[in-house]
Amino acid sequence: MAYIIEEVNTEMLSASAALQAIAKLLPDLASDVSNAINTPYASYAKTNYSVPTEEERREIRPMISAISLMMADMQAISDTLVSFYKMSLQARKSYLRLVSPVGRIPPELLSKIFIRSARKAKSLLPPPEARIPYIRHHKKAKISPTGYLNVAKVCRRWRDVALSTPRLWTRLEIAPIDRDMWKSQTLLTSFPLPVEPLIRAMGLPTFLTLDLRGTSLIQDTKVDYLPVNPACNSVRAIDIVRSCCTLSILELFQWLSQFGNLTHLLLDNIGIDVRSEVGFDQEWPPAGLPSLFFDRLTHLHVRTDMIYQVEEFCSTRTWGNLRSLTLDMYDGSEVWCTILEVIFDHLPNLVELWIAEDAVEEGGVGHWDSTHITSTKMRVFSLTVDRQYLPDEGYAMDPLFGSLNLPALTDLVVTCPLEGDVEFLRGFLIRSRCQLSSLTFTDVPDQDLTDAESSLIHQAGTGLGEEFHIQCVTYTRTLKEARVFREAKNSWYGVGAR
């Protein structure tokens, strides 16, 4: 090896000496070229002057030919030198990699770097009308159609490290794209499943985001439901995003039925009008639908503008295992008392309830005055509304809180009331006899956040905190800034119910 290295060094020195010799010739070459092109006619070449005699034209034509030949020679030399330069540049990069500290990074540290760098730099946020941020607000790795991450394609060592890092494959986003989604449709039964990435997770809890905005899926009428797939046993949560084309939850069940351990589900703009799907006079769930799928669910997040669908969906069965429910309702949606009655009647073990709506409708279906809802399990309750509706007496939050009795409640999140009027909260706390650990006011105006001393809501919140011994009373611009919200949503992907 030493002999070979010595021979290579000799060749490099020889090549370097040749290049230096060429460099020494360049000044003389520049002088010769300058003398060759600076003929007596050079001063006229930059003007509109044209030689008047044939004799002068015969003298100039050989000069043009000579300059053209010199240019051809210089171009050939230049191309050769550029080629040599590119070869040298590539060789230099290759040799630098041999001595680079990156190559000496231990596999366990390289693995941690991959977990961070392979994740998307920018997370997908919900459309402007959504008030509850997606639970998938954290970053996650986006696999290519072949099921690989970019870091696994750099070199063999990086690929080996990536494939032996299970945590790198536990946050996966699938975003199929049809070339013409309006003309071609994909059967749900033939929809690709990232089996290889799931295997690489080595049994760790895995979470999928299914972005269907670029594809069109239809139900396979020749097949009922896909059987439970052992390769999917590690999948605990799936976020499904759909912004165009109609797709119902019953159709999606044909694909979701293969996930035997799924406990967390997010449905964004997925139709959940199950009664109209099977017929109002038919039994639900329909025959053949794997009911164990519903029994396993502990966390459900629904974003929809069809509030009536939520009531129908929840009333179809008793959701005994469901612990956390998030309802993000937009586009003029309003909650009436019958919806809350259905939720508490059919979700008896609910621990968390997050509701975002435009307003509480006092004159909707049923009457708040005759509604009495009690839950001894509810520990976290959040109600955020659009403050522009609060001046209207018919859309106040008072009737809703007047119907609730939540003695086990520990964390309460509510939209900042107008003029700091918290009497409805005082009545609720007295009636429930709960011991709050935290009270959070959201949608607090900037003026109230910057000038706490003169803020009516700060004064009212402080009064409530002292009267009911609330440890933490906070004020935020948005729900996303609320500590209790961040903790609850971070636990979503930790598969940890409160």
Looking at residue 407, its pLDDT comes to 96
pLDDT single digits (tens) 277-305: 544 455 555 555 556 777 888 999 888 87
Among 122, 152, 160, 127, smallest CA distance to 140 is for 122
d(CA 74, CA 76): 5
Beta bridge partner(s), residue 194: none
In the sheet that holds 141-142, the strands lie side by side as: 141-142, 171-174, 206-211, 235-241, 264-268, 299-304, 324-329, 352-356, 380-384, 411-415, 438-442, 472-475
Q: Which two structure tokens, joined as six digits, stand for 131? A: 């008030």
Looking at residue 203, its amino acid is G
For residue 273, the model assigns a pLDDT of 67
Rounded distance, CA 437 to CA 235, Å? 33
Find the radius of gyration of the CA atoms of the chain.
Answer: 35
Cβ atoms 356, 132 nearer than 8 A: yes
- pTM of the complete model: 0.73
Q: What are phi and psi of 332, to 5 degrees?
A: 80, 15
Q: What is the pLDDT along the chain (498 residues), one digit of tens a residue?
A: 554 566 656 777 788 888 888 888 888 888 888 888 888 777 777 777 787 888 888 888 888 888 888 899 889 988 998 998 899 888 888 888 778 787 788 888 888 888 776 554 344 444 444 455 554 434 444 555 444 566 777 788 888 888 888 888 887 777 665 545 445 556 665 666 777 778 888 888 888 888 777 666 665 566 677 778 888 888 888 888 775 555 667 777 778 888 888 899 888 877 776 655 544 455 555 555 556 777 888 999 888 877 777 888 888 788 889 999 998 887 666 667 788 888 999 999 999 999 888 777 665 445 666 678 899 999 999 998 888 777 665 557 888 888 899 999 999 999 998 888 899 999 999 999 999 999 999 999 998 888 888 899 999 999 999 999 999 999 999 888 899 988 887 777 665 433
Q: State how far the Cα of 265 lies from the Cα of 207, in Å rounded to an integer.
A: 10
Write phi, then psi, for 339 (nearest 5 degrees): -65, -45
109: number of Cβ within 10 Å:
10
Q: Contact, 355 vs 401, CB < 8 A?
A: no
Can you tell me whether residue 104 is helix, strand or coil? helix
Domain layout of the chain by residue ranges: 1-33, 39-99, 105-297, 307-498
Looking at residue 39, what is its pLDDT?
80
The tokens for 332 are 């003029």
Q: Could you report the per-residue pLDDT of 167-213, keeping only the tens digit for each? A: 888 877 776 655 454 455 566 656 667 777 788 888 888 888 887 77
For residues 475 and 449, what is the distance between their CA atoms, to the nearest angstrom? 7
